[in-house]
Amino acid sequence: MTNEQVVKGQDVRVVRGRKIPLGVTGRVFWVGGPYFYTAWQNRHGGSGSYRVGITTAAGETFFVDVKNVEPVDLGQEQAQYEDDKAAYEAERPRNLG
């Protein structure tokens, strides 16, 4: 994902990385470029990539590289969950005894 694809207010999911649990979903509240921390990264060999700040529904706040998140449509996920649940219920064996 590139920084042009992330905007404030967008829902995203963490799909890569090691410090933030994978699968965390939240809303972007901040998008920052490498100009915020270039001096530190130059001293320590960093890449200078864009970062995003996300807030989860539980109120947790995380800052993560933009390449470690992907956009997610929470409404679409809910619809997929309902479809999967209905398919499971239709295929589940019933005890008609």
Q: Are 25 and 35 in contact (CB under 8 A)?
A: no
> How many alpha carbons fall within 13 Å on the CB side of residue 12?
32
pLDDT band at 60 (very low <50, low <70, confident <90, very high): very high
Is residue 53 over pLDDT 80? yes
DSSP three-state, residue 13: strand
pLDDT at residue 23 greater than cutoff 80: yes
Q: What is the pLDDT of residue 32?
A: 82
Task: Give the CA dihedral 39, 54, 68, 10, nearest 10 degrees.
Answer: -120
Query: How does 31-55 read in b/e, with b if 16+ C-beta sit within 10 Å?
Result: eeeeeeeeeeeeeeeeeeebbbbbe
pTM: 0.63
Where do the structural domains in the chain lie, given as residue ranges?
3-91
> What's the CATH number for 3-91?
2.30.30.30
What is the model's pLDDT at position 29? 93
